[in-house]
């Protein structure tokens, strides 16, 4: 593992696949021009619209999203995480799927989100992800890279379930991906502290690309794409507008923090 720059992309995706992919490419280009070698896109990067529209367009979204990730990775010679897009399942639902692609366009890891967001919020918004999404059946993967470290994948609502990240930690993760479309209501109170907690308790870097602003109707997301270091320090914050959060992933700093705070070695259970 070497030191390198990572980027957490922040978008305002809409119910328009081609528009979203164009915006994503522009932000990836911005990140690469600043030196990023690892680029992470948020949940729903290629489509964020009504659930019925998502289901109707799922095949096209899945096909174009995967092709986009592989093409972009090769064009810019980066490793890229597509933080969540619908892939049709066998029963008229989809899997919320995150895909990690290397600079040659090769698939490194695929994760189907296991924790689905079925919540009634006090602001009047109701989310029922399970109405259209099939929960994944497997713990998320890690990918061991000689140059980027060991990378662990998760998606959005997963961040509230620390046992998932302990699994990634046990598998050797150095970097945790938390691509999200966090609601504006919960984000203001929980987003930053949850990302910091997952980084601190597992002494890992956390890269958390995000959605921001209004997507359609009353669907609003919080923004603040983050990169957090193993001590819990915020290295980069994209604010509340579309953009890029960029920071260095430093293996020497990772080793130093794990030496100073060896909590992973002190686990009892």
pLDDT digits (tens, 9 = 90+) for 222-237: 999 999 999 999 999 9
Q: Across residues 95-102, what is the average pLDDT?
A: 98
**H or E stretch covering 68:** helix 58-76
- pLDDT exceeds 90 at position 91: no
Kindly report the backbone phi and psi dihedral angles of residue 117, in degrees, each rounded to the nearest multiple of 5, phi listed first: -90, 90
Question: Range of 197's domain?
Answer: 4-266
Please answer whether residues 171 and 152 qualify as being in contact, where contact means their C-beta atoms are separated by less than 8 angstroms: yes
What's the CA gap between 159 and 182, in Å, rounded? 10
Find where tokens 């958390």 sit: 208
- pLDDT exceeds 90 at position 60: yes
Number of domains in the chain: 1
pLDDT of residue 87: 97
pLDDT of residue 10: 98
What's the CA gap between 47 and 49, in Å, rounded? 6
Instruction: Report the predicted TM-score, pTM, of the whole model to 2 decimal places.
Output: 0.96
| Domain at 167, CATH number | 3.60.110.10
pLDDT of residue 118: 93
- Tell me what percent of the residues of the chain surpass a pLDDT of 90: 95
**H or E stretch covering 71:** helix 58-76
Please answer whether residues 155 and 43 qualify as being in contact, where contact means their C-beta atoms are separated by less than 8 angstroms: yes
Parallel, antiparallel or unpaired: strands 175-177 and 149-152: parallel
**H or E stretch covering 119:** strand 118-120
Q: Which residues are catalytic?
A: 43, 113, 156
pLDDT digits (tens, 9 = 90+) for 4-55: 999 999 999 999 999 999 999 999 999 999 999 999 999 999 999 999 999 9
Q: How confident is the model at residue 126 (pLDDT cuts 50, 70, 90)?
A: confident
What's the CA gap between 41 and 26, in Å, rounded? 12
């Amino acid at each position: 593992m070497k030191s390198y720059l990572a980027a957490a992309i922040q978008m305002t995706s809409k119910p328009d696949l081609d528009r979203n992919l164009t915006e994503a490419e522009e932000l990836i280009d911005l990140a690469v021009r600043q030196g990023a070698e690892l680029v992470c896109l948020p949940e729903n990067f290629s489509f964020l619209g009504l659930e019925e529209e998502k289901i109707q367009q799922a095949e096209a979204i899945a096909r174009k999203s995967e092709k986009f990730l592989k093409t972009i990775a090769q064009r810019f010679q980066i490793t890229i995480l597509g933080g969540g897009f619908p892939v049709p399942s066998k029963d008229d639902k989809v899997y919320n799927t995150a895909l990690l692609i290397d600079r040659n366009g090769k698939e490194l890891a695929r994760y189907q989100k296991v924790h689905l967001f079925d919540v009634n919020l006090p602001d009047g918004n109701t989310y029922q992800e399970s109405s259209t999404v099939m929960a994944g059946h497997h713990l998320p993967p890690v990918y061991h890279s000689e140059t980027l470290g060991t990378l662990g994948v998760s998606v959005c609502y997963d961040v509230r379930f620390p046992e998932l990240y302990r699994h990634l930690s046990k598998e050797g993760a150095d970097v945790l991906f938390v691509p999200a479309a966090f609601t504006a209501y919960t984000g203001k109170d929980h987003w930053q502290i949850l990302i910091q907690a997952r980084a601190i308790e597992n002494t890992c870097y956390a890269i958390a690309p995000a959605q921001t602003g209004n997507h359609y109707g009353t669907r609003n997301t919080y923004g603040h794409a983050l990169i957090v270091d193993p001590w819990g320090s915020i290295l980069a914050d994209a604010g509340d507008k579309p953009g890029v959060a960029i920071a260095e992933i430093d293996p020497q700093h990772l080793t130093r923090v794990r030496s100073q705070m060896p909590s992973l070695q002190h686990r009892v259970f």
